[in-house]
Every structure is written in structure tokens, then in C-alpha cells.
């Protein structure tokens, strides 16, 4: 996206299933969405960021029964855990949708009726291998058998089910989906996931069962309340519910189609095959992109409740601090790939990159200005060739990051920023402003001003990743709250403004639990 091209941006997390408490995977997906939303706001775009909870289906009905609770009371309780995660992780979502809301029931009903009106739905019966855990049917070629039990590709146990069902004519969409993927090569990212989806569709699609009669906890099928809607038709509709569907004249409808649906790789098929087919069949534009990220392991082990190694994101931020955890999760692993969570790695990133590299550069520079420039920002001077090395590298960051954010390359964006942080540390050691105080005070002031200008850019572009800490850094740099956007970087701060005494931005972890 070019600089100055302001537009509307719609970003979503998946809606999280309320049969359990939030874990690191939920925090990771929402964090990526939050960082991208914050970046686009920083770049002058109008952003709508949606998250929420998926509250219908057989799994939720069973979890509520096991807990001895009414399904609505159960979902009210568990949904609140996800709201708390959003608050504690400082996510900037504009809405939080629940599929038990009346607005969502209206949207699901309207979408069903439109699909039926267009002849995309018919009544039949379904029999096949069904996984309750995945809320999905699987073909015979996808089933494996161990110890007399059959399993889906996800590892979930399956059972043979036969019941009346309404069907969506998915098989008719094979060629149109393949053409859509060809016409929109960036619809699925990363590219490896795109190849998986195309291979699956090319192998042929079967009509999709979109209703159930074996449980009641769901949206009733219009005109046939013995059926409830298949949880994925229900759940996926949330993305258009939140922008006003079926009222396409609603103020929020201007955000559709969504720019990026962030999902885990385990639910890519539903978002990249079923969802665009549902939408196109109803005459609605499909989203622009589905980005499927990888999974985390914990110290080399698969994360599971049975192993007792589920990572609680709230416990993490309680130990290491919110912004270091936000930084680590998007710094450690290229977004889209699987990664291993290691507390040693988190501590190393915090101590070395945050405290030593960035924190130390800010503290040294601002302390020198306090002591040697009467705690006031030095005036700008004509830059030397040496100054330009640092200033040009910093000035290039917004453009470079803009291109990386446009393809959700968060890890690469942070590496670009850290290349300038490392340059700043090498540059201050080379220029030695502390030694220039007696020999060339004018040059000392120019060096400190160049460092300050570079750090202003660094702090500005890092706001999406570490909003609280970068707010404090910008405070210490004397940047007014209204001048912390990418566009504001084009206007230098006036020399002579008073700067507050600097305080450390990050606390090193000396002896933390591993």
C-alpha cells in the first residue's frame, strides 16, 4: 500500500470456541491482528478490528452439560475469559462479537435464506465419519485407524453418523474457486498453505452438510426448526454480522470485504474454501486474504492439556511484562511458521534486544542530552555524511515496514527496526558524543540530535508491537501525543524543547522461573 493512500481496513481474528479457557494460541492470533490494526491506524487508515467467541455447537453443549450448567450461562462465563484476555493483552479491537447475540442470529438467518433463494441449498441426509471435536465430517481417505478407533487428520476421534441434513452445493464451486485462487494469488498466505488448499479443491469437492438434528444448541434453520445450522456456516457468518449484514446500507458495511482473516492453520479449509463459496453463492464479495499461521510447541513438546504444558498468556505477562511478551511472540518465529516457545529465549530477547540494544541506546542518548544540553533538544544542524548513514536508515523504516506489514511479515519488520537500533549503538560508540563536549560542543549537539531523530522514528514504528513502552519512550523523547503517527515523522521537532529526565524502559530479568 502506497504512502498517503488512506483507506478502510477490516481485520479479524477467528472467533474463539468457548469450550475452554484462552491459551497462547488465542493470544498469538489476536496479537498479530492487533499489531496490524495499530500499524494501519498509525499510517492514517480507518480500521475496524473484530474478535469474539464462537458459542454454538455440539462441543459447547457437551462442555456445558459436563459443567452442570445451562449452555447460555456457560458461554456467558467462558466468553468473559476471552474479553479479559483482550483487555490484559491491550488489544485494540473495535468490537467483540458473540454468536449467541440476536444480531448474529438475524445475519445467519438472512444468509441461509439468500442461499436457499438462489438454489444453493437442498434437503437430503448425510452419513459419514464425523468428529465432534472438530465439528466436521471427513472422507474415508482422510481417516486413520489405531487400536480399533478411527481418527480424523486432526487426531480427533470420529464416529459414523447418519442423519437428515440440508446441504450446500459446494461441489458446484470447484472450478469457480480454482479460478478465484488464480485471479487472487495472495488470497491465501503464506504460499505453502495456498498450495495445500488448491490441491484439496482440485481433488474434487463434495456437497457440504450445513445442518444438524442431533443437538439443539445453535441457530435454527429458517422454516425447519428441527435442524440447527452447521456450526461453521453459523460461525463464519460472524465476519459479516459485525459489519451490519443483512443491512448492506449499515455504516460498517463500508469495511467489507475484510482485508485479512487471521486464522490458525487447522481452520484454513473452512475459511479458504467454504467461506468464499458461501459468500459468492450469496452474491457477496469474498474477503481479500486469509492468513494461516503456525502452531506453538512448548520447550519442544506439543502443547496439550494431558501433558499439563498449556501456556497461559496471562501468567506470562504477569512474570515478564506485557510488552516484552508481545514483542517476543512476533519476533521469535517468522509469522506463518510453527515455532517453539522457550522461556530462555524470551528472557534472552528481553535482556539483549530490548534492555541492552533499545533501552540502552535510549538511556545513553537522553542522559547525555540531560547533562550536556540543559535537558533540551538540540537544534538540527546540516547533516554530515556520517549523520546521513544513521538518519537515512531511520527515515527508510516506515516505507520498508509498510511493504512488510502488507504481507504480514512481522518478524521481518522487527528485524528491519533492529538493524537501525544496532546501527544506532554502533554509531554512538563511533561518534563518542561524551568526548566531544570539550573538543567540539557543536558537533556533540549535532550527534545527539541525530540520535534523537533516529530514536523518534524507532519508537514511532514500534508502537504497534509495544504500545505502552513506546508511549513512555516517546514521552521521554518529548514527542507530543498528537505527533506520533507516520505522517508526523515528516515534520521535525523544534529544537529547544524541554525533555524529561529519562527512566529505564525495560527491566532485565536476572532470576526468573524457566
- 343-490 classified as CATH 1.10.730.10: yes
State the helix-helix crossing angle for 397-405 and 441-461, rounded to 10 degrees. Answer: 10
* Ramachandran sector of residue 308 (left: φ over 0; alpha: ψ -120 to 50; beta: rest): left
- pLDDT surpasses 70 at 304: no
Across 63-67, 85-89, 288-292, 456-460, least confident range: 63-67
Beta strand pairing call for 224-229 and 220-221:
antiparallel
- pLDDT surpasses 80 at 128: yes
Composition of the chain by helix, strand, coil, percent to 5: 50, 15, 35
The answer to whether 229 touches 218, Cβ cutoff 8 Å, is yes
pLDDT recorded at residue 3: 60
Between CA 99 and CA 238 the distance in angstroms is 7
pLDDT recorded at residue 59: 84
The runs of H, that is alpha helices, within 260-304 are: 268-269, 275-281
Computed on alpha carbons and rounded to an integer, the radius of gyration of the chain in Å comes to 26
pLDDT recorded at residue 205: 96
Across 87-96, 290-299, 321-330, 361-370, least confident range: 290-299
pLDDT recorded at residue 514: 47
- pLDDT surpasses 90 at 130: no
Q: What is the mean pLDDT of residues 326-337?
A: 94
pLDDT recorded at residue 385: 96
Number of C-alpha atoms within 13 angstroms, CB side, residue 84? 13
pLDDT recorded at residue 2: 54
For the chain, give the percent of residues with pLDDT over 90.
Answer: 83
pLDDT recorded at residue 418: 98
Between CA 99 and CA 165 the distance in angstroms is 21
pLDDT recorded at residue 4: 56
**Close Cβ partners of 3 (under 8 Å, ≥ 6 residues apart):** 43, 398, 399, 402, 486
For the chain, give the percent of residues with pLDDT over 70.
Answer: 97
Give the 3-state secondary structure of residue 221: strand
Q: How far is CA 231 from CA 42, 256, 281, 292, 370, in A?
A: 36, 22, 18, 20, 60
- pLDDT surpasses 50 at 404: yes
- pLDDT surpasses 70 at 202: yes
- pLDDT surpasses 90 at 215: no
State the helix-helix crossing angle for 71-88 and 58-66, rounded to 10 degrees. Answer: 100
Q: Which among 345, 299, 296 is positioned nearest to 320, based on CA atoms?
A: 345
State the pLDDT confidence band at 137, using cuts at 50, 70 and 90.
confident
pLDDT recorded at residue 140: 87
pLDDT recorded at residue 133: 84
pLDDT recorded at residue 456: 98
Q: What is the mean pLDDT of the chain?
A: 94
Cell numbers found for residue 375:
535537558
What pLDDT, in 10s, does the model give residues 60-91?
Answer: 888 889 989 999 999 999 899 999 999 999 99
- Using the 8-state DSSP alphabet, how is residue 488 labeled? G
Between CA 377 and CA 385 the distance in angstroms is 21
What pLDDT, in 10s, does the model give residues 414-442?
Answer: 999 999 999 999 999 999 999 999 999 99
pLDDT recorded at residue 362: 98
Amino acid at each position: 500500500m502506497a504512502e498517503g493512500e488512506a483507506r478502510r481496513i477490516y481485520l479479524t481474528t477467528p472467533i474463539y470456541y468457548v469450550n475452554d479457557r484462552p491459551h497462547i494460541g488465542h493470544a498469538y492470533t489476536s496479537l498479530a491482528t492487533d499489531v496490524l490494526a495499530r500499524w494501519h491506524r498509525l499510517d492514517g487508515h480507518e480500521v475496524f478490528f473484530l474478535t469474539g467467541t464462537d458459542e454454538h455447537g455440539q462441543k459447547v453443549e457437551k462442555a456445558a452439560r459436563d459443567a452442570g450448567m445451562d449452555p447460555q450461562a456457560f458461554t456467558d462465563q467462558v466468553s468473559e475469559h476471552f474479553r479479559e484476555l483482550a483487555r490484559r493483552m491491550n488489544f485494540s479491537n473495535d468490537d467483540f462479537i458473540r454468536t449467541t447475540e440476536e444480531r448474529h442470529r438475524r445475519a445467519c438467518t438472512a444468509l441461509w435464506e439468500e442461499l436457499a433463494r438462489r438454489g444453493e441449498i437442498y434437503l437430503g441426509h448425510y452419513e459419514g465419519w464425523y468428529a465432534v471435536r472438530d465439528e466436521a465430517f471427513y472422507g474415508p481417505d482422510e481417516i486413520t485407524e489405531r487400536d480399533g478407533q478411527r481418527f480424523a487428520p486432526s487426531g480427533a476421534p470420529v464416529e459414523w453418523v447418519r442423519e437428515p441434513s440440508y446441504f450446500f452445493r459446494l461441489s458446484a464451486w470447484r472450478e469457480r474457486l480454482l479460478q478465484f485462487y488464480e485471479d487472487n494469488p495472495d488470497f491465501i498466505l503464506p504460499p505453502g498453505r495456498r498450495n495445500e488448499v488448491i490441491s484439496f479443491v482440485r481433488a474434487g469437492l463434495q456437497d457440504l452438510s450445513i445442518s444438524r438434528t442431533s443437538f439443539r444448541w445453535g441457530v435454527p434453520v429458517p422454516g425447519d426448526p428441527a435442524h440447527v445450522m452447521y456450526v461453521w456456516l453459523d460461525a463464519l457468518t460472524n465476519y459479516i454480522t459485525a459489519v451490519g449484514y443483512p443491512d448492506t446500507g449499515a455504516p460498517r458495511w463500508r469495511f467489507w470485504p475484510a482485508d485479512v482473516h487471521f486464522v490458525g492453520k487447522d481452520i484454513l479449509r473452512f475459511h479458504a474454501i467454504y467461506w468464499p463459496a458461501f459468500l459468492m453463492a450469496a452474491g457477496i464479495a469474498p474477503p481479500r486474504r486469509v492468513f494461516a499461521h503456525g502452531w506453538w510447541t512448548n520447550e519442544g513438546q506439543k502443547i496439550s492439556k494431558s501433558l499439563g504444558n498449556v501456556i497461559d498468556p496471562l501468567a506470562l505477562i504477569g512474570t515478564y511484562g506485557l510488552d516484552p511478551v508481545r514483542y517476543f511472540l512476533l519476533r521469535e518465529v517468522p509469522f506463518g511458521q510453527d515455532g517453539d516457545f522457550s522461556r530462555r529465549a524470551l528472557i534472552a530477547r528481553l535482556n539483549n534486544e530490548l534492555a541492552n540494544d533499545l533501552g540502552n541506546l535510549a538511556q545513553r542518548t537522553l542522559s547525555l542530552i540531560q547533562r550536556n544540553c540543559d535537558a533540551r533538544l538540540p537544534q538540527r544542524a546540516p547533516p554530515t555524511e556520517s549523520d546521513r548513514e544513521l538518519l537515512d536508515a531511520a527515515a527508510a523504516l516506515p516505507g520498508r515496514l509498510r511493504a512488510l506489514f502488507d504481507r504480514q511479515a512481522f518478524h521481518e519488520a522487527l528485524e528491519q527496526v533492529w538493524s537501525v537500533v544496532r546501527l544506532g549503538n554502533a554509531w554512538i560508540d563511533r561518534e563518542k558524543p561524551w568526548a566531544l563536549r570539550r573538543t567540539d560542543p557543536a558537533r556533540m549537539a549535532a550527534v545527539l540530535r541525530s540520535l534523537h531523530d533516529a530514536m523518534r522514528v524507532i519508537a514511532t514504528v514500534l508502537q504497534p508491537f509495544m504500545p505502552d513502552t513506546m508511549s513512555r519512550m516517546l514521552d521521554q523523547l518529548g514527542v507530543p501525543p498528537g505527533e506520533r503517527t507516520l505522517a508526523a515523522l515528516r515534520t521535525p521537532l523544534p529544537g529547544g524543547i524541554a525533555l524529561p529526565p529519562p527512566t529505564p524502559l525495560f527491566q532485565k530479568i536476572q532470576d526468573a522461573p524457566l
